[in-house]
Amino acid sequence: MQWPISSVPHWHFGWLVKYKQLAATSAGRNIKMDITVYQQRRQTVLNKIGEDGIAIIFAAPEQRRSNDTEYPFRQDSYFHYLTGFPEPGAALILNGREHTSTLLCRNKDPEHEIWNGFRYGYTAAREQFAFDSADDINQWPVLLKQALAGHRRLFALWGLYPENDPKLIELWYEVARIANYRSANGSTIAPDSLVNLASILDPMRLIKDKHEQSIMRIAAEISAQAHIRAMQTTRAGQYEYQVEAEILHEFMQRGARYPSYNSIVAGGKNACCLHYVSNNCQLQQNDLLMIDAGAEYQMYAGDISRTFPVSGRFSSAQKDIYDIVLAVNQASITSTVKQANWQNISATAISMLTQGLIDLGILHGSLEQNIETQTYRRFYMHGLGHWLGLDVHDVGGRFDSNEQPILLQAGMVTTIEPGLYISAADDIPQAFHNIGIRIEDNVLITETGNEVLTASVPKTTAEIETLMQY
């Protein structure tokens, strides 16, 4: 539909320009892989595990869906972070003493490739992904066992794929036994500690480098455009999954093959279920629709929530609740800057939400009393946000090993997602029944402030109502 230029609000032009740029730059194409990024990360890990450390990281396994069909394969986030290698049936060994990285993968198999697609094979994989060496994945126990001797620490992502852990322990035990025997002659050293590699990788992944930031901008923008499409196309009488189809359509048209998690498309009271993914109810004219959906682009997640009226017009009660959540979203984003303490931002959010509920007569008594007794938890039962990156709930934690809050640093990306969820109940005024609202943005902390990666999606009630007229 063509918009009469004179009636298009000025903020539409920004979207249109971005929209066209994005269509030209992202749809159907991949960012050219910069292998040096992965090489440098491996070097960093090799330096951190030191000469007496050896590490093994496994690719994700394939997952059976039914009989002989499988779920779409998604590479393990840690493995991808260090290799960029896209296949299952692979592992990476980082040898600290030799300072080398070895890829183990499936070899070429013309017959298998006719049925199931291309494989690099270990010769091409070593060259194209710049490993020091590559070998057959079936050799990993042999090669790891050979390499274990001479290292004091074995790093792995223990528990991530539990099926691998017993084999690793067995290999370690075999080498340790021989080493103990030979150590009488002082000839062999075996690992005497098993270390979680996440203690090295999680702090690295917490700070997004320029390469990651550029991908996350696109993941966020594609996600944003999908939410705009949903606002523009939603009509009463549709089923929630039909709105989900519009979102997935936009993701794929813009080059994001998959969502980064199961999309939540929740009309009316369904929004009060935090992880509602059934998406099979019919939208009612007077309900709100809460959508929590994000695109995965080049393995990185977008994660946006918006809430809008099915009819295109907020009721007065819906607007009252919405504006409380919006104010918290905006205030929290303003506070999300370098050196800020996330715990303080979260506490302020709780205080603002609670005061808003008191002002509307949904909670009673003083602010202090309600916070003390956590009455707000009936209406706001989740945290203010989470790290975002390769995983939608990304690694890193909010506290360091001394249980001190990790202050925000440039390069971190967090979601900001306050919400209020008011189920029907006798002690709540009826106008507020079944209102569930979440407003979620993705925020990159910078040296000078922050960058809201998801700023393209409207979020004031006026902006949303205007967009929904077209």
The residues assigned a catalytic role are 68, 275, 292, 303, 382, 386, 393, 417, 421, 438, 440
Q: Using the 8-state DSSP alphabet, how is residue 469 labeled?
A: H
**Which CB sits closer to Mg ion, 152 or 398?**
398
DSSP string, 157-219: -TTTSGGGHHHHHHHHHHHHHHHHHHGGGT------EEEETHHHHHHHHHS--HHHHHHHHHH
- Shortest Å, Cβ 451 to Mg ion: 17
Residue 292 binding Mg ion, by CB under 5 A? yes
- How many residues in total does the chain contain? 470
User: Applying CB under 5 A, which of residues 164, 225, 311, 415 lies at the interface with Mg ion?
Assistant: 415
CA atoms within 13 A on the CB side of 202: 17
Give the residue at shortest CB distance from Mg ion.
292
- Shortest Å, Cβ 393 to Mg ion: 7
Contact region with Mg ion (CB under 5 A), list: 158-166, 192-200, 286-294, 318-326: 286-294
**Which CB sits closer to Mg ion, 221 or 292?**
292
Distance CA(444)–CA(388), nearest Å, equals 9
Contact region with Mg ion (CB under 5 A), list: 70-78, 161-169, 282-290, 295-303: 295-303
- Shortest Å, Cβ 415 to Mg ion: 4
Distance CA(47)–CA(67), nearest Å, equals 44
Q: Which amino acid is at 393?
A: H
Helix (H, G, I), strand (E, B) or coil at 83: helix
**Which CB sits closer to Mg ion, 235 or 393?**
393
Size of the site for Mg ion (CB under 5 A): 5
- Shortest Å, Cβ 442 to Mg ion: 9
- Shortest Å, Cβ 228 to Mg ion: 16
DSSP string, 127-161: HHTT-SEEEEGGGHHHHHHHHHTT-SEEEE-TTTS
Q: Is the dihedral of CA 212, 213, 215, 216 positive or negative?
A: positive
Q: Where are the alpha helices (DSSP H) in 234-315?
A: 240-253
Distance CA(213)–CA(425), nearest Å, equals 44
**Which CB sits closer to Mg ion, 394 or 440?**
440
**Which CB sits closer to Mg ion, 88 or 267?**
267
Chain positions 418 to 447 lying near Mg ion, rule: CB under 5 A, are 440
**Which CB sits closer to Mg ion, 157 or 328?**
328
Q: Using the 8-state DSSP alphabet, how is residue 108 labeled?
A: P
Written as six digits, the tokens of 358 are 């008191």
Q: Which residues pair with 289 in a beta bridge?
A: 267, 308
Written as six digits, the tokens of 435 are 């209102």
Longest dimension (CA), the chain: 88
What binding mask, one character per residue, do residues 361-400 give for Mg ion by CB under 5 A, x or -? ----------------------------------------
Distance CA(383)–CA(360), nearest Å, equals 22
Helix (H, G, I), strand (E, B) or coil at 55: strand
**Which CB sits closer to Mg ion, 134 or 413?**
413
- Shortest Å, Cβ 350 to Mg ion: 17
- Shortest Å, Cβ 327 to Mg ion: 19
C-alpha distance from residue 184 to each of 171, 177, 188 (Å): 21, 12, 9
**Which CB sits closer to Mg ion, 87 or 250?**
250
- Shortest Å, Cβ 391 to Mg ion: 11
The DSSP bridge pattern shows strands 53-58 and 91-95 to be antiparallel
Helix axes 140-148 and 165-182, enclosed angle (nearest 10) = 40
Residues lying near Mg ion in the complex (CB under 5 A) are found at 292, 303, 305, 415, 440
